[in-house]
C-alpha cells in the first residue's frame, strides 16, 4: 500500500495493529513518523524499521513496522497503547503494570521471573511472573535496591545480584530501564544475559519491547537451557525476523533452495515459504522450528553473506 503524494513523496499506508485504523506516513517527511532505523541488506531488500503512532479516543497507539525500499509494508514488529494523560508524572511509589499489557506467562521450566521496569513511564512489564507474586511490589523492591546501588557505586556494575522473597534476583540496569530475572538452573545465565542486554538496547529509550520475540526467547530457553547469548540477543533485537520478503528474482527460488539445502538440511522445509513471502522467520520458529533456531539463523546469514538474492 503505497503511492506518491502531490510532492512526489512515497506514502506508506498500513493498518494500526491495535485498532485497525489506516495510518499513513512518508519516510521523506520526518514529521509523519517518530523514528526510523535502516537495516543492512536482507534477502536482496533494503529494509527499514519505522515507528509511527496515532491518537484515537484518548489513547496513543504506537506501531513499530518494517518497510522496504519502495515504502511497502513488510511486517509488524510490535505495538502498544499509551493512555494520553494530563502530563502529571506519577511518583516512584506508583509503579503500575503497563496499560494493555497482561501477564504473558506464569511458568517456564528454568526461568522463574522476567520483569522489566520502564523508569520514565513508571511502567512494569511482567513478561514472566509466578501467580503468587505481585509484579508491581517486586518491581518496587527491586527499584529500591537499584537506586541504593546507584547512590553507592561510582560506576555501576553491569549487573546486580541480591536475594528477594526467597529468590536470587539478577538485575540489568540502564538509565531508561531495569530488567530483572530469577532462574532455577544456572546454565540459562548466558541466554538471560543476551535477553536482558537486548531488552535494554531495543529501540533505545523507547517503550517498545517485542513481546512476541520475548515469548519466543523464553520458549527457546525452556527447550535449550544452555543456548548461547548471541542467539537470544539476536532474537529480541533483530527487526528483520518479523519481515515478510519477496525476493527480486523469484525464478531463482528452486535453484537457491536446492543449493542452500545441501549445506543446511532445514532449508528444504523452511526456505520456500521464506523466499516467497508466505512466512517471516518468527512465523517459522513459532510453527515448530524452535529447536532449530541456530540453524535457521545460520542459514539466513549464509544466504545474505553469499549475496544469493542480491
Ligand atoms: Zn490505532
Q: Are 125 and 191 found together in one domain?
A: yes
From CA 293, how far away is CA 3, in angstroms rounded? Answer: 37
Q: Same structural domain for residues 232 and 96?
A: yes
Give the Å distance between the CA of 27 and the centre of ligand 1: 19
| Same domain (yes/no): 117, 234 | yes
What is the rounded average pLDDT of the residues 51-55? 94
| 220 and 278 co-located in one domain | no
- Shared domain for 235 and 139, answered yes or no, is yes
Distance, CA 191 to ligand 1 centroid (Å)? Answer: 34
Q: How far apart are CA 291 and CA 285, in angstroms?
A: 8
Rounded Cα gap, residues 294 and 25, in angstroms: 36
Average pLDDT over residues 76-81: 85
CA 44 to chain CA mean position, Å:
23
Instruction: Report how far ligand 1's centroid is from the alpha carbon of 22 (Å).
Output: 8
Same domain (yes/no): 197, 251:
no
From the CB of residue 66, how many other CB atoms can be counted at a distance below 10 Å? 26
Do residue 13 and residue 100 come from a single domain? no
Mean pLDDT of 251-277: 92
Strands 10-15 and 2-4: antiparallel
Is residue 156 one of the residues assigned to a domain? yes
Examine the fold and report which residue of 208, 239, 270 is the final residue of a domain before the chain moves on.
239
Residue 19 CA to ligand 1 center (angstroms) comes to 4
| Nearest-angstrom CA–CA distance, 278 and 293 | 18
Residues with Cβ within 8 Å of 36's Cβ and at least 6 positions away in sequence, in order, are 27, 48, 49, 50, 51
Q: Per-residue pLDDT for 206 more than 50?
A: no
Quick one: cell of 147? Answer: 537506586
Q: Which pLDDT score, from 0 to 100, does residue 7 have?
A: 61
Total tally of structural domains belonging to the chain: 3
Q: Could you give the CA distance from residue 74 to residue 64 in angstroms, rounded to a whole number?
A: 11
User: How far is ligand 1, taken at its centre, from the CA of residue 49, in Å?
Assistant: 18
Tell me the C-alpha distance between 197 and 182, whole Å: 15
Distance CA 217, CA 234 (A): 10
Instruction: Please identify, among 48, 83, 118, the residue that sits at the C-terminal boundary of a domain.
Output: 83
Dihedral, CA atoms, 147, 208, 20, 215, nearest 10 degrees?
Answer: -100
Report pTM: 0.85
- Domain end position, chosen among 32, 55, 83: 83
Same domain flag for 198 and 108: yes
pLDDT on residue 309? 78
- Domain containing 194 — which CATH number? 3.30.450.30
State the distance from the centre of ligand 1 to the C-alpha of 174, rounded, in angstroms. Answer: 29
Domain that includes residue 115, residue range: 92-239
* Residues recorded for the chain: 310
The pLDDT-based confidence of 92 (bands split at 50, 70, 90) is very low
Residues 100 and 206 in one domain: yes
Amino acid at each position: 500500500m503505497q503511492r506518491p503524494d502531490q510532492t512526489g513523496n512515497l506514502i506508506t499506508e498500513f493498518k494500526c495493529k491495535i485498532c485497525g485504523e489506516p495510518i499513513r506516513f512518508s519516510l521523506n517527511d520526518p514529521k509523519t513518523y517518530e523514528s526510523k532505523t535502516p537495516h543492512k541488506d536482507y534477502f536482496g531488500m533494503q529494509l527499514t524499521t519505522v515507528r509511527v503512532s496515532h491518537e484515537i479516543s484518548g489513547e496513543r497507539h504506537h506501531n513499530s513496522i518494517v518497510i522496504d525500499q519502495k515504502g511497502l509494508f513488510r511486517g509488524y514488529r510490535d505495538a502498544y497503547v499509551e493512555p494520553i494523560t494530563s502530563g502529571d508524572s506519577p511518583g516512584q511509589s506508583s509503579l503500575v503494570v503497563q496499560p494493555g499489557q497482561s501477564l504473558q506467562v506464569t511458568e517456564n521450566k528454568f526461568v522463574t521471573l522476567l520483569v522489566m521496569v520502564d523508569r520514565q513511564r513508571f511502567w512494569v512489564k511482567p513478561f514472566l511472573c509466578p501467580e503468587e507474586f505481585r509484579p508491581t511490589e517486586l518491581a518496587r523492591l527491586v527499584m529500591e535496591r537499584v537506586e541504593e546501588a546507584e547512590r553507592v557505586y561510582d560506576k555501576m556494575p553491569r549487573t546486580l545480584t541480591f536475594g528477594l522473597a526467597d529468590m536470587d534476583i539478577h538485575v540489568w540496569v540502564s538509565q531508561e530501564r531495569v530488567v530483572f530475572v530469577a532462574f532455577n538452573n544456572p546454565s540459562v545465565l548466558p541466554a538471560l544475559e543476551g535477553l536482558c542486554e537486548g531488552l535494554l538496547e531495543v529501540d533505545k529509550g523507547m517503550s517498545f519491547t517485542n513481546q512476541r520475540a520475548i515469548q519466543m526467547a523464553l520458549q527457546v530457553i525452556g527447550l535449550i537451557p544452555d543456548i548461547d547469548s548471541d542467539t537470544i540477543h539476536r532474537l529480541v533485537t533483530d527487526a528483520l525476523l518479523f519481515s515478510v520478503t519477496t525476493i527480486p528474482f523469484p525464478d531463482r527460488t528452486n535453484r537457491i533452495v536446492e543449493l542452500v539445502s545441501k549445506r543446511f538440511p532445514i532449508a528444504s522445509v523452511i526456505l520456500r515459504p521464506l523466499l516467497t513471502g508466505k512466512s517471516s522467520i518468527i512465523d517459522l520458529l513459532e510453527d515448530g522450528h524452535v529447536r532449530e533456531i541456530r540453524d535457521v539463523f545460520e542459514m539466513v546469514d549464509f544466504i545474505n553473506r553469499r549475496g544469493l538474492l542480491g
